[in-house]
Amino acid sequence: MTQLNRRRFLSGGIAIAGGGALGALGLSGIADAAPDSTAGGRPLHLDGHEITGGWTFTAADATTATGDRFASAQQLAGLKPAVVPGTPLTSMIANGEYPDPLYGHIVTDTVPDTLKDTGYWYRVAFAVPRLIPGQRFWLRFDGINYLGTVWLNGTEVGTVAGAFKRSVFDVTDIITNANGTAYLAVLVGKLDYADPPSLPSYASGVTRGGRNGGKTGITLKNGPTFFCTAGWDWLPTIPDRDLGIWQPVTWSTTGPVRLTDVHVDPTLSADLRTADVTVELALDSAFDTAKPVVLKGSLDGHDFERTVTVPAGASTITLTSKDLACLRLDRPKLWWPNGYGDPHRYRLTIAVESGRQVCDERTVDFGVRRIEYTKPVESPSGATVDGLAITVNNQPILVMGGNWGLDEALKRIPRQRLRDQVRLHRDANLNLIRNWNGQSSTEDFFEACDEYGILVWQDFFCSTEGPPPADVARDLDNIRDCIVRFRNHPSILLWCGGNEGPPPQPLVDGLDALVAELDPKRAALTSSAGDTGQDPIGGYSSGGPYHWVTPGTHFSLNDGTKWPPFHNEVGSYSIPTLEFIRKMLPESSWEHPDDFWADRDVNGNGGNGGGAGYLALTAQRYGEVLNLPDFARKSQLMNYECIRAIYEAHAANMISASPGKPYPRTGVIMWMTNPAQPSFVWQMYTHDLEAHSAFYAVQHACRRVNVILDRQTLDVVVANHTRSAVRGTVDATLYALNGTVFAQTSLRVPAAAASDHTVIGTLAPQLAATPDDVAFVRLSLKDQHGTELVRTFSWLENPARPTGFASLDTAPAPAVSITADARRDRDELTLTAEVTNTGHSVALMLHLQAYDTHTGDRILPATFSDNYLNLAPGESTTVHTQLTADQTRRHPSLGIRVDGWKIDQPASHLRGHGVAVTFNQAALATHPPTKTFGA
Positions of E strands within 447-491: 455-459
Rounded (to 5) percent helix, strand, coil in the chain: 20, 35, 45
Q: Rounded distance, CA 506 to CA 490, Å?
A: 28
What residues of the chain score a pLDDT lower than 70?
Answer: 1-41, 935
What local confidence, expressed as pLDDT, does residue 535 receive?
87
Q: What residue type is 167 in one-letter code?
A: S
Q: Rounded distance, CA 451 to CA 489, Å?
A: 10
C-alpha dihedral over 5, 6, 11, 13, to 10 degrees?
A: 10
Separation of CA 424 from chain center: 9
Q: Rounded distance, CA 347 to CA 114, Å?
A: 47
What local confidence, expressed as pLDDT, does residue 10 receive?
28
- For 640, phi then psi, to 5°, come to -65, -50
Q: Rounded distance, CA 725 to CA 705, Å?
A: 10
What local confidence, expressed as pLDDT, does residue 34 receive?
54
Q: Rounded distance, CA 575 to CA 589, Å?
A: 16
DSSP string, 567-619: EEEE--B----HHHHHHHS-GGGTTS--HHHHHTTTTTTSGGGHHHHHHHHHH
What local confidence, expressed as pLDDT, does residue 38 receive?
40
What local confidence, expressed as pLDDT, does residue 8 receive?
33
CA distances from 90 to 115, 337, 413, 632, 800 (A): 12, 35, 11, 31, 56
- For 400, phi then psi, to 5°, come to -125, 100
Task: Provide the sign of the torsion angle of the four alpha carbons 415, 30, 147, 140, taken in this order.
Answer: negative
Q: Rounded distance, CA 304 to CA 719, Å?
A: 47
Question: Are 678 and 906 spatial neighbours (Cβ–Cβ below 8 Å)?
Answer: no
Question: Are 363 and 348 spatial neighbours (Cβ–Cβ below 8 Å)?
Answer: yes
What local confidence, expressed as pLDDT, does residue 625 receive?
98
pTM, 2 dp? 0.95
Q: Within 13 Å of residue 546, how many CA atoms lie on the same side as its CB? A: 21
533: Cβ–Cβ under 8 A, 6 or more apart, which residues? 497, 508, 509, 511, 512, 524, 525, 526
- For 245, phi then psi, to 5°, come to -85, 90
List residues bridging with 774 in a β-sheet. Answer: 797
Cβ-based neighbour number of residue 473 at 10 Å: 12
Question: Are 40 and 95 spatial neighbours (Cβ–Cβ below 8 Å)?
Answer: no
Q: Return the closest-CA partner of residue 778 out of 813, 840, 736, 819.
A: 736
Question: Are 401 and 434 spatial neighbours (Cβ–Cβ below 8 Å)?
Answer: yes
Q: Return the closest-CA partner of residue 236 out of 214, 205, 203.
A: 214
Question: Are 869 and 903 spatial neighbours (Cβ–Cβ below 8 Å)?
Answer: no
What local confidence, expressed as pLDDT, does residue 63 receive?
85
